[in-house]
Structure 1
Amino acid sequence: METASAGTPDPSFLKRRTLLRGGALAGLGALVPAYTVLAAPDAPGAGTGGAEPSADGLMLTKFKDPLRIPPVLRPVARGGHDELTVRMRTADVRVHSELPPVPMWTYEGSHPGPTVEAVRGRRLRVAWENHLTGSIPVTAVDFGRPGGPSPDPLTNYPGTEGCQEVPGVAGLQPWAAVHLHGMLTGGGNDGWMENLTGPGDVQLSAYPNDQPATTLWYHDHTHHVSRFSVYAGLAGLFVCRDEEERALGLPRGRHEVPLVLADRNFALDDSGALTGRLVHKVEMVGTKLMRVHAAPYTLVNGVIWPYLEVEPRWYRFRIVNTANSRIYRLMLLADGRPVPGAFHVIGTDQGLIDKPLPVDGALNLSSGERADVLVDFSAFRGRSLKLVNTMDGVPPGASSPRNDLLEPDVMQFRVAGRGSAGRFTPPAVLSSTFERPTHHDLPHDSAPRWVVLAGPGSANMPELWEMEEVPESEAAGLTLPAAGIVQVEDAAGSVTTLRRTAMGYDDGRAFTVAHGGTEIWKYLNLAASPHPMHIHLAHFHVLSRETYDVTGFDRTVRGSARPVAYLGAAELEPHERGVKDVVRVGTAGQIRPGPNGTPGELVTVAVRFPVVGRGVHHCHMLEHEQHMTRPLVVAPAGPGHAGGHAEGHAEGHH
C-alpha cells in the first residue's frame, strides 16, 4: 500500500509456540462431499515431488493435498433461453487436511463456488438464491501502531495477537449482491452493489451471454462490504464456450484445469493451534484502511498449497486472481530455476487472442484479472515443478517477509514418468476474428477521459479522481500548486492541465457515455502502489503503458507544483494484449518506500460500451472499493448524449 507497515512486535512468539496440527481429524470422506475430498499422502512420490514443510510459523504442510476441481453447473434449456439456480449457503469447507473445516459463506456449499458453464448465444437467466445464515464468518482485525516499518509484519502470520478487532464487522448480516464480473449485461442485471438481497430473497439476473468464449467469475459486490463477503467465500467461475474455441482442439477434460488463486489467514486457539476461523488482518490508521490485505496462506481452487499430478503433455490452465488485493507475479520453477517461456498466453479477460504469446519472466495478475494459458510438461517426465509467487528484486522462490511474501510457493506439479505427450501443437491462429484497434478505429473528435489515482490524503485513504481538461487560456491564470489540479507533460512536451471534478462515491456527478460508443480513458497513477482498475458495462483494449516522473505532485497540497513528466514507454504484457475488463495501473511486484518512491504510470485504454444502464468503475483491490469507486452511466445515444461525453448528474442511488 501507499504507507509502509507500522512497527509491530517481533512475531517470534508465533515461532516459539508448539506447532500443533489442529488436532486429530476423522476420515475426510465422511465429512465433506465427494468432490471436496482431500487425500493426504505423507510419503513423497518417486522422484515426482512430495509434501514439504511450510515457512516457520505457518504450521501446515505444503503439497500434501491434491488440487480440487470445482463442480460444474450447466444451465437447463427453457425454449429460447437457458435457466439456472445458484444458492448461497453457509457451509464448513475443508481447505487443508491438517486444518479444521472453515466456516464460509459459499455458492452451493463449496469454495470456490461451482463453475457455471454456458454456451455463447444462449441467453441465460440465473436465480441467485440467498440461503445464508448467521453473521459473517470472518474476524476483522487491525495491527496498525506507530513505530515505523516492520521487516516482518503481522500479516505474515496467523492469529490475532497484537491486533485490535475492527468494530462493526462481527455483526454483519448476510446481505448479498451478485456481480458476474466481465459479463456484458445491462445495469439492471449487473449486480448493482446497493440492490441487496437478504436471506430468503432472490436476485434474478438475465445475461445476454453474447460474447466470445472466455473465463469470467462471479462474486459478491455488496457496497462497503465486499472485502469481507468475498473473503468469506463468495466467489466462483463462469466459463463461456463457442464454436471458434471448440474448433481449435485445445486441451480439454482433465487437461483443462481452472486455477482460482486467493490468499487467506486463520485464527489460533489458546494452545496456538489453527482453528479454521477466517481472519482478515490489515494495518489501519484511525478508521481508514491503509495497508491492503495480504495473507500468508495461498489457496488454489480452495485448497492451501495443493499438488496436481499431470501427464507429460500440454495442459490448458484458466488462471483467475480472486484475492482481495494481492498481485500474483507467477513463475514456474524446475529445480529452483525459472522455466523460460513456460506460459503461453492464449486468452485474456474477455476471450482468445490472435496467436499464442510466450511469457518472458513473470505472469502478473492483479485482483480480478484472468489469463488463459498453455503449459507443456513433456520435458519434465518424472520430475516436479513449483508454481511460485515472486517479487521484483527477490530471487524467484525466495521468501520476502517485508513484502508480505513469507511463503512464496503456490502449488506443485508432479509430472508422470510415463505416458504419451500426445499430438497437440498450439494453433498458429487462435481467433480469426480478434483484432487490435488501429489508429483509424479510435475516436479522434473528443477529449479523453482522465482518471487520476492519488495516494492517501488528509483522510488517510487512497483516492480516485475524475478529471476534466482545463482550456489553455484558463490554465495560464492558475497559481500552482492548487488542490485538485494536475498538469501532465507528454512525450512531445505538450502540457495538459487537469481539474478534479469528482472523488467521493456520493459526489453526484457521473461519467455519462453513449451506448455503442468508444472512448479513450487515461489512468494516471501518482501513488507508490499499483491499482487494478475495473469498468462495469464495458470492455477495453489496453493501448499503451508509460512511465512518468510524478515527483512534481505535491502530496500535501494535492496538486502538481510542476507537471508530471513523461519518462518512457513500457511494454504491454502478453495477457494485456487482448480484450480486458481489468488493467493494472502501476508496476507489479515493486513498491519502494518513501514519497513517490516509484515512477508513476499512465495507462491508456480504448473502451467500448455495448450495454446500457447504471454501473460503476473502481479499483478492484477490495480494500479500496469503498473509497475508490465512482458511478458510471451508459445511456442510449441521442439528444444530450451525442458524442458520448455529456455529463449526467446522479439522482440518488439505485
Structure 2
Amino acid sequence: METASAGIPERPQGPRVNRRTLLRGGAVAGLGALVGSAPVFASPVGAAPGGPEPSAAGLGLTKFTDPLRMPPVLRPRERGDHDELTVRMRTADITVHSQLPPVRMWTYEGAYPGPTIETVRGRRLRVAWENRLTGTLPVTAVDFGLATGPSPDPLSNYPGTQGCQEVSGVAGLEPWAAVHLHGMLTGGGNDGWMENLLAPGDVQLSAYPNDQAAGTLWYHDHTHHVSRFSVFAGLAGLFITRNAEERALDLPSGRHEVPLILSDRNFDTDASGAPTGRLLHKVEMVGAQRLMRPHAGPYTLVNGVIWPHLEVDPRWYRFRIVNTANSRIYRLMLLADGRPVAGALKVIGTDQGLLGEPLAVEGALNLSPGERADVLVDFQAFRGQTLKLVNTLQGVTPGESNKRNDLLEPDVMQFRVADRRPSAKFTLPEVLSPTFTRVGHHDLPHDQAPRWVVLVGPGTQNMPELWEMEETDAQDVTLPAAGIVQVKDADGTLVTLRRTAMAYDDGATFTAAHEGVEIWKYLNLAASPHPMHIHLAHFQVLSRENYDITGFDRVTRGSSRPIAFKAAAELEPHERGEKDTVRVGTAGQITPGPNGTPGELVTVAVRFPVVGRGVHHCHMLEHEQHMVRPLVVSPAAHLNAGGHHH
C-alpha cells in the first residue's frame, strides 16, 4: 500500500511505457493529496480578494477561514492478474476548523474523509479492511422536542446539548465495523453485509471485480442498527475508477480536478457556549408521538473542512461532488455577487460514470445522501471575483437562511478566482462517453410485472416505513384496508397493490435473476423525500411523476381512493445516467399540510450483473434501520432448477 504522508504532497510515479500505467499516471497526480490542515495547493498568482466572513449567529466559527484540503490517495499494489490494498480503520484527532479543537473521529487511515482509493477499470481489486479502531463511539447522541409540534427554530440549528436529553444505548458503543463500497458491482459475499461485523483486530477481505465504467464511488461503514452513528463518526471515503475512454477526453486534471465530499456535523459546547471538538448527533423529536426528524447539522464540511475556501485559476475545473451526509439533501447553486449563475455547473457524470454528453444545470443541483455528480465549471468569466457555493431550498432566495427547514447557514464554500489570464485552453466535449446509451423500449422487460416499493410516513413504531408490494385483484379487497394501495396512472389504468413485507426480517424477499432487467416503481406517500439505494445492481431512471396522494388514509394505512397521476416531472441532469441511488420525493422545502410534499412516483430500470444477498434501503441513515429490506440475486437457472420455481 502506498499513501501520502501527513503534510507531505504525494509524488506521482515516473512515466512508464505500458498503457495501464499511462492511465494511472497524471490521473493519480490529479488527485495528489495533502493531509492534515495543509491547503490543497498553493494560491495562484493574483488571487482574488475574498476572505473570511462571520457565520450565522450562534455558530461561533468564522466562514472561509481555512483552505480546502485534499484527502490522501491510496494506490493498490500489483499482484499478477489483480491488485491488492490494505486500508486500516483508526481512531484519530482531526482538525476540521482552525478555531475548533481537534475532533476525535473514527477514520480510515487517520484521515477524514478517508483516503481516495484510485483504480483502473479491469484490474480486479482485493482489499483488506483492517479494524484498528480504539475507544468507544466518539459521538454524543441527544434529542429534543415539543409535544405541541415542530419548532420554528429547532435546537439542531445550534451547537450544544442545552434543552436536550441523551439518547439511550449510544454512549459506550464499541467499534464494530462493516465496510460497504457504495456503487461497486460485486457479489453479495464481498459487498459488506451489514451483520458480518468486524471487531477490533479483525479483517474484512473483499474482492471487487472493478469492471464497470469509470466513475466516482464511495466507501463507508454499514454496521446494522448504528450506521447513522458510525458514518457520522467519520467512516467514509472516496473511490475512483479510471479508464481509457475518460483519459481520451483530456478533462481538467492535476490540481484542476477536485473532489468535493459534502457532509454536515454538530458539536457540543464548553461552559462559555463555544463549540468544542466533541461530535454531537442531535435530532428533533416532533409532537407527542416523538417522530424523529432526520439529522441535519448546522456546520457544512467539504473534504472534512468547515466552510472552506479554494483558490482557483480562471479556467475549467472538474469537481467530483459526493453527498456523504447522514440525511441532508444538498440543493447546490453557484452564486456570483449574490446571484445564481445559471448553467455554471455542467454535469458530465452520474453515480455510475460518464454521460453521453454534458448537461447544464439551470437551477439547483440536487444531491441526496449517497448520490454523486461529476461536474465541470468554467471560472474564466470570473477573474478577480469571489464566488460561493450555497445550499438552498425551493421557495427560498438562494443564499438566504431558513431556520425552520434546517438551513440556518446556507453557505457551503467560497471560490477565490485569480485575477490573471487563463493558463490553459479547454473545449467542452460534445460527446463524453460514446458507449453510454439511454435505456430504450426494446431494453425493458415486457413480460413481467414491475416491482413496487411504497414509502409511507411513520406507523406504529413512529418511524417511516418501506413497503414491498405485489399486484392483486381489486375484487379481493375492501377499501380502505391496511397495506392496500390503489394507483391510477396517466393512462387511467388502476393497479391494486398489497403489502407483502415491511420489516427487515419479514419473508418474501425480492429475488432477481442474474443479468436480468426489472422495472422498479418507487411511490412516495410520505411527507419527506427518501434517497433509495439498491445494492448488487445499477439502474437508469425512466421517469419522475407527480401524484395526488390525498387518497391515502394515514390512520388506516391504506388508500381510501386511488393515488392518482397529476403530471410528469423532468429528470435532472445527474439523473439521466447510470445510477445506484435516486431521490424519491421533492427536493426542497417541505410544504405544510396533512400530506406535506407532493407525492412522487419514480420508475427505474434495474440491471443485476452480480449475484448474492444484499439489501435495498433508504440512504437517509436515520431511516436505514427501519427502511431496509433484503435483496437476493440468483443465477436464472437456479430459480427454476428441477422444474419448480423457488
Structures share fold, TM-score greater than 0.5 = yes
Deviation at 1:639, TM superposition (A): 4.8
SS of residue paired to 2:246: helix
- Alignment deviations for residues 578-613 of structure 1 (CA, whole Å, 9 cap, x no partner): 000000000001311222122200000000000000
C-alpha distance in structure 1 between counterparts of 2:275 and 2:360, whole Å: 40
Which residue pairs with 2:511 in the alignment? 512
- Alignment deviations for residues 513-570 of structure 1 (CA, whole Å, 9 cap, x no partner): 1000000000000011100000000000000000000000000000000000000100
Which residue pairs with 2:308 in the alignment? 306
Contact 2:34 2:72 in 1 (8 A): no
SS of residue paired to 1:344: strand
Contact 2:178 2:223 in 1 (8 A): yes
Deviation at 1:149, TM superposition (A): 2.5
Which residue pairs with 2:55 in the alignment? 54
Q: 1:449 aligns with which of 437, 448, 451?
A: 451
Which residue pairs with 1:420 in the alignment? 422
> Which residue identity lines up with residue 578 of structure 2 in the other structure?
V
C-alpha distance in structure 1 between counterparts of 2:623 and 2:86, whole Å: 31
- Alignment deviations for residues 355-407 of structure 1 (CA, whole Å, 9 cap, x no partner): 00000100000000000000000000000000000010000000101110000
C-alpha distance in structure 2 between counterparts of 1:88 and 1:502, whole Å: 36
Contact 2:281 2:295 in 1 (8 A): yes
Which residue pairs with 1:590 in the alignment? 589
Deviation at 1:289, TM superposition (A): 5.7
- Alignment deviations for residues 438-482 of structure 1 (CA, whole Å, 9 cap, x no partner): 1111000000000000001122110000000003xxx12421000
C-alpha distance in structure 2 between counterparts of 1:251 and 1:307, whole Å: 20
Which residue pairs with 1:409 in the alignment? 411
Which residue pairs with 1:225 in the alignment? 226
Structure 2, unaligned stretches of length 5 or more? 1-5, 9-32
Give the length in aligned residue pairs. Answer: 610
- Alignment deviations for residues 127-152 of structure 1 (CA, whole Å, 9 cap, x no partner): 00000001100000011231222211
1:98-247 paired onto structure 2 within 5 Å:
98-247=99-248
CA shift in 2, pair 1:183/1:553, >3 Å: same
1:577-616 paired onto structure 2 within 5 Å:
577-616=576-615
Deviation at 1:638, TM superposition (A): 1.4
> Which residue identity lines up with residue 558 of structure 2 in the other structure?
G
Contact 1:318 1:372 in 2 (8 A): yes
C-alpha distance in structure 2 between counterparts of 1:526 and 1:345, whole Å: 30
Normalized against structure 1, the TM-score is what? 0.91
SS of residue paired to 1:228: helix
Which residue pairs with 1:72 in the alignment? 73
- Alignment deviations for residues 175-218 of structure 1 (CA, whole Å, 9 cap, x no partner): 00000000000000000000000100100000000001000000
Deviation at 1:508, TM superposition (A): 2.3
Contact 1:635 1:641 in 2 (8 A): no
C-alpha distance in structure 2 between counterparts of 1:628 and 1:538, whole Å: 18
Which residue pairs with 2:11 in the alignment? none
C-alpha distance in structure 2 between counterparts of 1:507 and 1:477, whole Å: 23
Q: 2:337 aligns with which of 332, 335, 338?
A: 335
> Which residue identity lines up with residue 551 of structure 1 in the other structure?
T
C-alpha distance in structure 2 between counterparts of 1:368 and 1:554, whole Å: 31
Which residue pairs with 2:37 in the alignment? 37
SS of residue paired to 1:476: helix
> Which residue identity lines up with residue 303 of structure 1 in the other structure?
V
- Alignment deviations for residues 59-115 of structure 1 (CA, whole Å, 9 cap, x no partner): 100001000110100000000000000000000000000000000000000000000
Deviation at 1:222, TM superposition (A): 0.1
Q: 1:344 aligns with which of 343, 346, 353?
A: 346
1:308-387 paired onto structure 2 within 5 Å:
308-387=310-389
> Which residue identity lines up with residue 636 of structure 2 in the other structure?
A
Q: Percent identity?
A: 78
1:252-651 paired onto structure 2 within 5 Å:
252-284=253-285, 290-471=292-473, 475-641=474-640
Deviation at 1:279, TM superposition (A): 0.1
Contact 1:282 1:289 in 2 (8 A): no
> Which residue identity lines up with residue 177 of structure 2 in the other structure?
A
C-alpha distance in structure 1 between counterparts of 2:258 and 2:66, whole Å: 16
> Which residue identity lines up with residue 537 of structure 2 in the other structure?
A
Deviation at 1:47, TM superposition (A): 4.9
SS of residue paired to 2:492: coil
Contact 1:340 1:361 in 2 (8 A): yes
Contact 1:354 1:435 in 2 (8 A): yes
C-alpha distance in structure 2 between counterparts of 1:197 and 1:597, whole Å: 41
Contact 1:266 1:274 in 2 (8 A): yes
- Alignment deviations for residues 297-346 of structure 1 (CA, whole Å, 9 cap, x no partner): 00000000000000000000000000000000000000000001010000
Structure 1, unaligned stretches of length 5 or more? 1-27, 649-654
C-alpha distance in structure 1 between counterparts of 2:164 and 2:585, whole Å: 30
CA RMSD, 1 decimal: 1.8
Contact 1:288 1:459 in 2 (8 A): no
